[in-house]
Amino acid sequence: MTRLLPGLLFLVKMVRMRRYLSILIAGLFTVGLVWLRQGNGAGEGRDWAGYGGGGENRRYSPLTQIDRGNVGGLQVAWTYDTGDVFEGSEMQCNPVVVEGVLYGTSPKMRVFALDAATGVERWSFDPTVGNKAPGRPRNRGVTYWPGGAGGGRIYFAYRNWLYSLEARTGRPAAGFGDGGRIDLREGLGREARDLSVGLTTPGVIYRDLLIIGSIVSETLPAAPGHIRAFDLRTGQQRWIFHTIPQPGEFGYETWPKEAYKYIGGANNWSGLALDEKRGLVFAPTGSATYDFYGANRHGDNLFANTLLCLEAATGKRRWHFQVVRHDLWDRDLPMAPTLVRLRRDGRVIDAVAQVTKSGHVFVFERETGRPVFPIEYRKVSTAGIDGERPAETQPLPLLPPPISRQLVTEEILTRRTPEAHEWALKRFREMRSLGQFDPPGLRESLVMPGFDGGPGWGGAAFDEKSGMLYVNSNEIPCILKLVERPKAAAVPSGRGVYLRSCASCHGADLSGSPPEFPALRGLSRKYEESDLRAMIASGSGRMPGFGNLGGGGAMQALLRYLLTGEDRSYSGPAGAPSPIELKYAMDGYPRFLDADGYPAITPPWGTLNAIDLNRGTIAWQVPLGEHPELVAKGIRDTGSWNYGGPILTAGGVLFIGATNYDRKLRAFDMRDGRLLWEGSLPASGNATPSTYEVRGRQFVVIAAGGGKRGGESGGKYVAFALPPAR
């Protein structure tokens, strides 16, 4: 209210002078409206109105109440317990806050609305209708639309269903699809009823359209990852862009002629960015299915691993840039791009920045796709395994330099203990380590950064004033090896079906690569046969659905093998085979860890980075995260696995959770990476926080869901704020 006093005094003075009485009336009316809007948390800059802070995906707030000088005084303001935590569950939601109401999701995928000042629940919606959530569903947020009847709508996806809810009540919106939801498997241009199609990252809104990508299977058979726009009111599909081109479409010649009928993937799973003024949407895509062996998809494979610029109103391609040709390393573009404005060579450039899993940053002019920094097309090895045809060249930006190490050498092997170093050295000498774009084969090879990145889905944050792009990154190598895949049998056996469908993630011995790919031993203690059957058929979390197995011999044989260990054969349908049989598959997703389970290279194992986009340089880099048990031994600042991303404020503070083991929300000085404050969480904050102002008070909130890589699962949202003024 103190900010309004000068205006009030001026108006009173005018009245005393007996002039412009109407000004007083109008002014008081305006003051009242402003006060009400402040009380409700509304107003430009006070909300966190979309995933990543809004369509530009800058993860930036103009709020200044919390700044470098006082951030150390943050305290827990409120905590909301979803009550939905279960073993292995996760919660990756970046909550949306609009007009004093926070919208988020729980580990079970329940959607809720809270009073953003107190954390008190207003309503909740459970798409499972009270049933047990199958597997570990993942969701990174919801989309808010201020239009529609009844005061706005909330859009979110659960499995293959896209819902529209009334923002005021949480009830399914009348007139949207069938009972407030539509089936994302429909409208893809080919049959996908038995395939896995979902949405983990929210879409963007342009006029009356909701534009979304999808999450699909990473093994064949798989749905195509086409990008689509739906009518916000009715759910009708308004346009579709084929990321796997069909005959007559641009890029069709970069695939085998029939590929559009059977290849899947090339999907936008990591989110979108929207330039509303220009009417452009920017969509990064993932690799084509299958990720590690592409003998059935010879060619460069447009538009997989591509940053697409589309007209938001029509889906028409404006320009594109393919970051990886004929991907064989699971090099999905892992995060939504960021719309930036930078200054270079005397020009102010509206650009789009795309960060990759390998730690590179590609920057393009928004309207033309012209690179801001030089890009080199580097000749790479084409020594692919039987039937494979790797691309001859791959693009790499010359600036900025990569923020992650690109090659594992003997010099960077761990020295945590002499024993760990000797183990790592022996193991290293058993493998290939040739850097980026070394084609996979039957011998183990090291991929650095690993399959999680480098940078991941948490995204980057941008400060226009300084031209700095901030992004966190993992520094943990992975091991890539192909194994021969057994052929389908006319009478399927349980182990045979397992080796064909499951072993590439969970290993031939069912040991998995926990916790991302859990071991599959002892499932009879966790699941009834009916629950396990449903999960296998429709998928869960990162696991794709295997509806192609059908309900006959193949499914029954697999269930028997998983639940009892018996390798029996069952007559009946063997399940639908892939249109083109793959001879090789990945042998699990192992990381290069030492005998004690720590990364087998020297720290940092996780970093926070500031990239100066005006100069194309790395301004600073600091370790992100610690291992508490190593801290107890005096080993600090190692960095750790991190999942989630940073946000920025005009107060000069960067907030980030993400660290997987130490359960912290941290605040850093944006200028130099100096740690200013850290607050404890009930579980790891593997999510991106949000900041907002309501009733004159700035909050920072994060979902503390844990559940990654052995971390304990949690189900609470925690909001921090400065102590209230007395």
Q: CA dihedral in degrees (347, 352, 356, 361; nearest 10)?
A: 10
Q: How confident is the model at residue 537 (pLDDT cuts 50, 70, 90)?
A: confident
Six token digits for residue 569: 């054969």
Alpha carbons 99 and 554: distance in angstroms, whole number: 52
Helices (H), 386-464: 418-428
Residue whose pair of structure tokens reads 């008070």 in the numeric block? 697
Question: What DSSP designation does 719 have?
Answer: E
Judge whether residue 653 has pLDDT over 50: yes
Cβ atoms 215, 203 nearer than 8 A: no
Six token digits for residue 486: 């057994």
Alpha carbons 452 and 667: distance in angstroms, whole number: 24
Question: How far, CA to CA in Å, does 220 sit from each of 241, 487, 530, 538?
Answer: 21, 14, 24, 14
Between 14 and 47, residue with greater pLDDT: 47
Judge whether residue 7 has pLDDT over 60: no
Cβ atoms 504, 220 nearer than 8 A: no
Write down the pLDDT at residue 136. Answer: 80
Helices (H) and strands (E) in the chain, counts: 9, 42
Residue 553 host element (H or E)? helix 553-564
Lowest mean pLDDT segment, chosen from 7-16, 405-414, 494-503: 7-16
Cβ atoms 110, 84 nearer than 8 A: yes
Write down the pLDDT at residue 40. Answer: 34
**Predicted model pTM:** 0.89
Tens-digit pLDDT profile for residues 235-267: 999 999 999 999 999 999 999 999 999 999 999
Q: How far is C-alpha 479 from the chain's CA centre?
A: 22
Around 311, how many Cα atoms within 13 Å sit in the side-chain half-sphere?
8
What's at 126, amino acid-wise?
D
Q: Considering only CA atoms, which of 364, 252, 360 is closest in space to residue 309? A: 364
Q: CA dihedral in degrees (496, 500, 505, 506; nearest 10)?
A: 0
Length of the chain: 726
Six token digits for residue 127: 């798409």
Around 395, how many Cα atoms within 13 Å sit in the side-chain half-sphere?
20
Judge whether residue 424 has pLDDT over 90: yes
SS3 call for 31: helix
Around 572, how many Cα atoms within 13 Å sit in the side-chain half-sphere?
12
Cβ atoms 554, 497 nearer than 8 A: yes
Judge whether residue 3 has pLDDT over 60: no
The residue-averaged pLDDT of 188-198 equals: 87
Cβ atoms 302, 245 nearer than 8 A: yes
Six token digits for residue 661: 């083991």
Tens-digit pLDDT profile for residues 81-120: 999 999 889 999 999 999 999 999 999 999 999 999 999 9
Cβ atoms 124, 135 nearer than 8 A: no
Helices (H), 565-713: 628-631
What's at 261, amino acid-wise?
K
Phi, psi of 537 (to 5 degrees): -70, -40
Judge whether residue 571 has pLDDT over 80: no
Judge whether residue 706 has pLDDT over 60: yes
Between 12 and 192, residue with greater pLDDT: 192
| DSSP of 318-333 | EEEEESSSS-SS----
Domains recognised in the chain with CATH numbers: 2-39 (no CATH), 489-576 (1.10.760.10)
Judge whether residue 458 has pLDDT over 60: yes
Alpha carbons 641 and 599: distance in angstroms, whole number: 10
Write down the pLDDT at residue 149. Answer: 73
Alpha carbons 512 and 138: distance in angstroms, whole number: 20
